[in-house]
């Protein structure tokens, strides 16, 4: 949530500043280089969430054409996700994954939410993210809001060691049955010889 500016990869971006100099061609071949202005429709979607929960709870990481990313506190995850599903129409989770940031001693878990049922947001992805401490990585599960997140959360558990409270099976999934090492997508897990 509250990220200090020294957080190097990604999330330090303030709402108005899109990091890559030229996000090329979101939808079409000739790229419309929208560099400064956040697109109005996407902004409208995010402002709906903000107006419901308030500025202090919803931290906007970026708003780009077709892509939005917001960061919320773990405690608010279920509530915000329910609001997004019921009021904005993002009806399924395309993927759930995490990124390890050892410098901040945090893991960021990201839910990429998409919509099948509403045509106007069919191309949009709303990334709902939250951060948890690396030492005791625990988050509430969202499978009661997004059933589609079930296997993705299980994968996140074994790959990054994030325990999803309320998830019926925080268990091994893709890794070998006798895996007795660190969660492999944590940065301190090194591939041998590399």
Q: Which of 8, 32, 138, 168 binds other proteins (CB under 8 A)?
A: 8
| 20 is a contact residue toward other proteins (CB under 8 A) | yes
Angle made by CA atoms 65, 44, 117, in degrees to the nearest 5: 75
Q: How far is the CB of 85 from other proteins (least distance, A)?
A: 10
Find the DSSP H helices in the chain: 40-53, 77-83, 150-160
Tokens describing residue 3: 């990220």
Q: Which of 45, 63, 71, 150 binds other proteins (CB under 8 A)?
A: 150
Rounded CA-CA distance 143/92 in Å is: 10
- Across the chain, the runs of DSSP E, i.e. the strands, are 59-64, 67-72, 92-101, 106-114, 125-133, 138-140, 163-165
Instruction: Check: CB of residue 171 under 8 Å from CB of residue 118.
Output: no
Instruction: Check: CB of residue 63 under 8 Å from CB of residue 39.
Output: yes
Number of residues that bind other proteins (CB under 8 A): 52
Query: DSSP characters for 63-90?
Result: EETTEEEEEE-GGGHHHHHHHIIIII--
| 175 is a contact residue toward other proteins (CB under 8 A) | yes
Q: Which of 45, 81, 132, 146 binds other proteins (CB under 8 A)?
A: 146
Q: How far is the CB of 165 from other proteins (least distance, A)?
A: 21
Q: Given CA atoms 149, 187, 103, 164 in this order, what sign does their dihedral have?
A: positive
Q: Could you tell me which stretch among 23-31, 47-55, 70-78, 132-140 binds other proteins (CB under 8 A)? A: 23-31
Instruction: Check: CB of residue 72 under 8 Å from CB of residue 1.
Output: yes
Q: x/- site string to other proteins, residues 52 to 91, per CB under 8 A?
A: --------------xx-x---------------------x
Site residues for other proteins, 83-142, by CB under 8 A, read 91-95, 97, 99-100, 110, 112, 116-117, 122-123, 125, 127
| 180 is a contact residue toward other proteins (CB under 8 A) | no
Interface ranges with other proteins (CB under 8 A): 8-10, 13, 19-25, 27-29, 31, 66-67, 69, 91-95, 97, 99-100, 110, 112, 116-117, 122-123, 125, 127, 146-152, 155, 159, 173-176, 184-185, 189, 191, 194
């Amino acid at each position: 949530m509250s990220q200090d500016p020294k957080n190097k990869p990604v999330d330090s971006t303030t709402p108005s500043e899109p990091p890559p100099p030229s996000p090329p061609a979101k939808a079409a071949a000739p790229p419309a280089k929208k560099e400064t202005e956040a697109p109005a429709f996407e902004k409208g979607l995010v402002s709906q969430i903000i107006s419901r929960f308030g500025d202090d709870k919803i931290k906007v990481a970026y708003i780009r054409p077709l892509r939005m990313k917001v960061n919320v506190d773990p405690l608010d995850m279920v509530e915000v996700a329910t609001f997004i599903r019921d009021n904005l129409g993002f009806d399924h989770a395309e993927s759930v994954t995490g990124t390890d940031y050892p410098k901040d001693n945090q893991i960021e878990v990201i839910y990429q939410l998409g919509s099948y049922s509403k045509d106007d947001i069919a191309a949009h992805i709303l990334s709902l993210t939250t951060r948890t401490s690396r030492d005791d990585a625990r988050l509430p599960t969202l499978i009661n809001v997004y059933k589609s997140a079930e296997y993705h959360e299980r994968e996140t558990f074994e790959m990054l060691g994030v325990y999803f409270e309320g998830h019926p099976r925080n268990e091994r999934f893709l890794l070998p049955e006798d895996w007795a090492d660190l969660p492999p997508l944590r940065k301190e897990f090194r591939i041998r010889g590399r």
